[in-house]
Amino acid sequence: MKKRTIIIIAAAVLAAVAVIITAVVIISGRSRAVKPADKPDIPGFEQPKQVTDLLKDLNPTAASESASEPKLPGTGSEPDDEEPAYNVSNIPEVTELMRLGGQKDSINLVWRETSGVKGYRVYRRASGEKGAVYTLFSTVKRAHLEIRNLAAGSKYDFKVAAFISDDYGTYEGKGAEATFATEPAKVSGLVLAGVDNNSTTISWNKMKNADGYIVKRCFGGKWSDYDTFDADTTEFTDEDLEAGRAYYYRVSAFIKDSGGTLTGGTKDVYTVAGMTAPEDTGSTTRVGRVSLDYSSSPYADGYKIYFSEDKKKWELLDDIEETYYNTDRLEEGDTYYFRVTPYRNVGKIEVAGPYLALTFTAGDDFYDKEIGDTYIEVSLADQHMWFIKDGAVYLDSDVVSGNRNSMDTPTGTYSILSKASPCTLTGADYVSYVDYWMAFIGGSYGLHDASWRSSFGGDIYEGDGSHGCVNLPTEIAKELYATAEVGTPVIVY
């Protein structure tokens, strides 16, 4: 009987061992470590010695922990032979978070690779935005992430953390944090805000997210970093300049982040010290056209005339040396915007100065209804004649009018009364033979050729003017005579 009892006990022990081995195999397949079986809640129960010895052989660590309380799920797993494993308490911290270079529309993040983790979580938030919080942006397996399709000047705070996972959840280590940005956009709105003999002022638009601006200056063919300004400064005055010399300025925005300083594209502006904006000297609308009259600009080689109907799209009308300009006939009642921009040629570069801005509404004068679209127009101040045919300038030329303050050409609205070719003009103290005569006041005042003159325009009429007629170059008088008919209106002002 005793022998039979021993056999039964041995069989029971072997069965218990088999159950435990099966449990160990199952546990090993899940967590790569054999864990001790939980103690059943039976008073006085002790683990059989055979089981304890077997656990020691299979998993020394598990056997040493068998006397302790079982761990909660998800508190980690033992490492395998090839890579380390971590638990919640020792997941490594991400280090050396940085960006590679600087791009206008992307941020390329990299950090030190950590073996033995499942991957990395990347969080971001808008930098400097009040109340912004980190949100999960991406999960990656490798230690880099390129974020594309960003706007220039975008700035974000990033946090990158390594993580591990098991059947019970995902657990992060301590994250690395840094602020990175894209390059700022090219500075916009850079203009000459003011020029005088010894100073120049430039201004530009405030750029989104810019931390400041760098101004470079070129003088004598050499560029140099000239000054740096904070984010709220959008104007700079350079003083003690040499009148008549050219100066070039280059402005760029910059952003500072954890990787250093990112500088945006540059915008250039050129100026000549002392080349100031022209002043308006009597611009007005006449006969449905705009007559621009302005003062000369020091050091200017010429003037460019621009016009716009909306202040957004500008069209070049002409490039002239004169200090006056008459437009074609404009649409009655429409408003037009003009810019008169002086410029100077410096080497191969055309340097523009600050411009004169003017605004006019066409057709707001009494000539419109009386004159029509074909007429002759003479400006005594400009010493210039225009023949307008069907609303457009058909012919124009410098002239010499009556001697100023002694034999002035009468101003007013007239018309061609008669034409003669050739013709002899006589007066109390002169006899002049002309080929083309077009009278507009009796037989005393008219337009005609003056072959005895070698030049026209300017201030010739101030001391060497005519007896009151309008003198024209021969070829201009010939063409006007052939085209303008008797009855064509003549406006002198």
Using the predicted structure, report yes or no on whether residue 14 has a pLDDT greater than 60.
no
Q: What is the pLDDT of residue 364?
A: 52
Checking 444-453 for CB contacts under 8 A at 24+ apart, the result is 444/468, 445/409, 445/410, 445/469, 446/470, 447/376, 447/378, 447/385, 447/472, 447/477, 447/480, 447/490, 448/423, 448/472, 448/477, 449/473, 449/474, 449/476, 449/477, 449/478, 450/400, 450/474, 453/400
Q: Is 89 left (phi over 0), alpha (psi -120 to 50) or beta?
A: alpha
End-to-end C-alpha distance for the chain, whole angstroms: 147
Task: Tell me, yes or no, if the two domains 98-181 and 191-272 fold the same way.
Answer: yes
What top-level class would CATH report for the domain 98-181? mainly beta
Distance (Å, rounded) from C-alpha 448 to C-alpha 473?
8
Average confidence (pLDDT) over 141-162: 95
Using the predicted structure, report yes or no on whether residue 51 has a pLDDT greater than 50.
no
Using the predicted structure, report yes or no on whether residue 259 has a pLDDT greater than 90.
yes
Nearest-5° Cα angle at 404, 400 to 407? 90
What residues does each domain of the chain span?
2-64, 98-181, 191-272, 372-493
| pLDDT band, very low/low/confident/very high, at 19 (cuts 50, 70, 90) | very low
CATH superfamily of 191-272: Immunoglobulins (2.60.40.10)
Using the predicted structure, report yes or no on whether residue 44 has a pLDDT greater than 60.
no
Residues 353/276, Cβ–Cβ less than 8 Å: yes
Residues 378/471, Cβ–Cβ less than 8 Å: no
| pLDDT band, very low/low/confident/very high, at 71 (cuts 50, 70, 90) | very low
CATH number of 372-493: 2.40.440.10
Give the 3-state secondary structure of residue 483.
Answer: helix
Burial class (CB in 10 A: 0-12, 13-18, 19+), 22: exposed
Q: What is the pLDDT of residue 64?
A: 44
What pLDDT, in 10s, does the model give residues 221-239? 889 899 999 999 999 999 9
| pLDDT band, very low/low/confident/very high, at 54 (cuts 50, 70, 90) | very low
Give the 3-state secondary structure of residue 258.
Answer: coil
Distance (Å, rounded) from C-alpha 378 to C-alpha 490?
8
Longest dimension (CA), the chain: 171
Using the predicted structure, report yes or no on whether residue 2 has a pLDDT greater than 60.
no
Distance (Å, rounded) from C-alpha 398 to C-alpha 476?
10
Q: What is the pLDDT of residue 301?
A: 96
